[in-house]
Structure 1
Amino acid sequence: MTQEHATPEAPQVTVRGTGRLEVDPELARISVTVSVRGTDRSATLAELTRRNARVLDLVKALGGAVEKLETGGFSISPELGKRGRGERVRAHAGRVRLTVELTDFTVLGDLVTRLGDLELTRVEGPWWALRPDSPVHAEARRLAVTEAVRQARAYAEALGTSLSALLELSDAGSPEAMGAGHPALHMRRVSYTAEETEGMPPLDLEPQRQTVTAEVVARFTMRPPAL
């Protein structure tokens, strides 16, 4: 499409509009890594299966609060001894990594506390985010367009004229949620007795506000001003 050129009869103005919103997150994501180590391969695999099932049970017990539960990786590998001429397996190490997404943040602290107290279980997160199809993104674009029109009208009014037509509207960048990629908690296993764990209060985790921005570039024609 050939771009229209400005003329004295149809002067043009090009502006950039930005929409910015600060909203509560819609998702909280945590990463759970379950580890096990033993001298017998079959026993190690069986123990890894048991610990993984324990994690799954804790997560699935939350029902509709869980948006997504995925196994991101599984491994079981031998550890070789350093002494001797031949290769000798001295132990087997197993690991399962899971990703959990929650929509109900009221259960997050309790879940993280329970997972963090499981044997050889590493918990990382939460990472706060918005859903990809969140209406917040559309609202940010709407605000960006509104701001572009406001700026263009302000320029036209400064010249004593008004806008006549929109020639072009382009997205200067997809709406971006800032703050979603930084973990607010990095928790490792802490040792407690069974009695102490039973009465532990859940961690108090405050959701991280998300700043969503969108930018558009708009080009308008104006009615000829009387200069």
Structure 2
Amino acid sequence: MTETPTPTPPATHHPYGTPATPHVTVRGEAHLEVDPEIAHITITLTARSADRRTTLDDLTHRNTTTLDLIKSYGDTIERLETGTLTINPQLTRHGRAERIRAYHGHIQLTATINDFTTLGEIVTRLADHDLTRIDGPWWTLRPTSPHHAAARRQAVREALQRAREYAEALDTRLGALLELSDTGTHHTPLARTAYTESLPYAAAAGGTEPTDPAPINLEPVRQTIDAQVEASFTLIPPTLG
């Protein structure tokens, strides 16, 4: 009869190390400041009239004009989305009853722009439209930005450097990597908000058409990326004494 060999028991894991295999656990951190890659603006279009159909027609016209203007900038517009559309009656009390005094309409659009010179031009041209509100810009990075990976690599390098410094302080060196934990990469957009609302303009003297306003100069806000890791290494047992 052939005897079944007795399996070798697995090695006991000592999470805190032993005198024969001491461990060192360190944290690595990275803090980067980088230029933003994109900017978001929100455009709110408004129409108001005592007649519901007139309100809707005016809102539709402003929406079409705004979309055509933004789309004319081509690839500098990464995303253009329509949010909410509302038509609300404004009620007023007349005697004991309420009646509709006017209709208010709103459409909200969101645009993502990757050219900041173009951004200033778009903002001023939109703000020159009647009953158009601009909120933003909000500066940020793309989710796939290489800056996120750069911060993580820097955090790992710092953790390794710290571990080596501890090993050198003990007059020994690192053995093997036991564990590397990503404790988080955080992007903090230091966004500031600008706001402008256009008002109806009067025609220039002599009946000439008004020209486009000069583009506003918008200074991008730098973005902060923080990354943290924890790493555990074995040490060559040092000689203490």
Same fold (TM over 0.5): yes
Distance 1:170 1:3 in 2: 18
Larger radius of gyration: 2
Q: Which residue of 1 aligns with 2:3?
A: none
Residue by residue, what CA displacement relative to the aligned partner does 1:63-106 show, whole Å, maximum 9, x if unpaired?
Answer: 00000000111100111112222331110000000100001111
> How do 1:12-161 and structure 2 match up within 5 A?
12-161=23-172
Whole-Å separation in 2 of the counterparts to 1:66 and 1:3: 55
- The number of aligned residues is 224
Of 203, 211, 214, 1:198 maps to 211
What secondary structure is seen at the aligned counterpart in 2 of 1:13?
Answer: strand
Q: Rate the CA distance shift 1:156–1:35 in 2: closer, same or farther, 3 A.
A: same
8 Å contact kept, 1:124–1:183: no
Q: Secondary structure at the match of 2:123?
A: helix
RMSD: 1.6
Consecutive unaligned residues in structure 1, runs of 5 or more? none
| Residues in 1 aligned to 2:43 and 2:195: alpha-carbon distance in whole angstroms | 11
* % identical equivalent positions: 51
For the structure 1 residues 125 and 76, does the alpha-carbon distance in structure 2 shift closer, same or farther, using more than 3 Å as the test?
same
Letter in 2 for 1:43: T
1:186 is matched with 195
The AA in structure 1 aligned to 2:166 is: Y
Residue 178 of structure 1, CA deviation: 2.0
Deviation at 1:199, TM superposition (A): 4.9
Cα deviation code 1:20-77 (max 9, x no counterpart): 2221111010010001110110111010000111111110010000000001111001
Pairing partner for 1:217 from 209, 230, 233 = 230
Q: Which residue does the alignment assign to 2:186?
A: 176
User: What is the CA–CA distance in structure 2 between the aligned matches of 1:100 and 1:117, rounded to whole Å?
Assistant: 17
The separation in 1 between residues aligned to 2:179 and 2:201, in whole angstroms, is 63
Write the deviation string for residues 163-188 of structure 1: whole angstroms up to 9, x where unpaired. 10111111111x222234x3341222
What is the SS of the residue equivalent to 1:82?
A: strand
- Partner of residue 221, structure 2: 208
Distance 1:107 1:218 in 2: 45
Distance in 2 (CA, whole Å) between partners of 1:143 and 1:166 is 17
Q: Give the secondary-structure state (helix, strand or coil) at the position aligned to 2:144.
A: coil
Rate the CA distance shift 1:63–1:141 in 2: closer, same or farther, 3 A. Answer: same
Which deviates further from its counterpart, 212-221 or 3-12?
Answer: 3-12
Structure 2: which 5+ runs fail to align? 1-12
Q: Distance in 2 between matches of 1:47 and 1:40?
A: 11
Once the two structures are TM-superposed, the CA of residue 118 in structure 1 deviates from its matched residue by 0.8
